[in-house]
Amino acid sequence: MSEAFEKAAALGVVPVIAIERAADAVALADALLEGGLPVAEITFRTEAAAEVIATLADKRPELLVGAGTVLTPEALDAAISAGARFGLAPGFDAEIVEAAQGKAFAFAPGVMTPSDLSAAARRNVKLAKFFPATAAGGPAMLEAISAPFAHLGMRFIPTGGIGEDSMGEWLKLKSVAAIGGTWIARKDDISGGRWKDIADKARRSVACAREIREGGR
């Protein structure tokens, strides 16, 4: 995996964030940093995404900021130009994967089936996003479809329907590098300025991930 994804994997959890206003970016970053979670996936589901990424890259470089929902080559270019250090997508698009590789940009395409995994393996993808993780069958499904590819060293960031109460069942899988989720910094938390709540949830999630990986849960 890339250095950026190695850092995310060391934390075990990546907050998936849809933020509507760039004006909230620094306060959001400070809440995550206060909670000991120096990583954020800013999704391209809002018009503010690129500006938010650029603001964070400039004002809070200690935060590992990435771009999510990268669905087009244009979005990929926008993410890189804004200063994103990694990117993810919900599905597999060979054009985007190859463009990211050509730019030496850390990118995790989405997979859900063995066919997706075959396509990823052909392009030497080492980290993929398993999405939608819960709806697609949960940890048992990921374990089943990834087993034939285990010798290739591919790892995953399951995202979609995961919460603090289900972290353990995912992080216990050796193939899971980290989990992604929206519960840490939801849209309404951000728009409502509930920075302490976000910091508290970040802190609990980091502690929970550490405890799970150390065998305590």
Residues labelled as active-site residues:
41, 129
Contact predicate 58/84, CB 8 Å: no
Give the pair of three-digit tokens for residue 211.
Answer: 């405890």
Cα dihedral 21, 23, 27, 33 sign: positive
Q: At what angle do helices 94-102 and 73-82 cross, to 10 degrees?
A: 30
Contacts of 13 (CB under 8 A, 6+ apart): 37, 167, 178, 179, 180, 181, 184, 205, 206, 209
Alpha-carbon gap, residue 82 to 195, rounded angstroms: 24
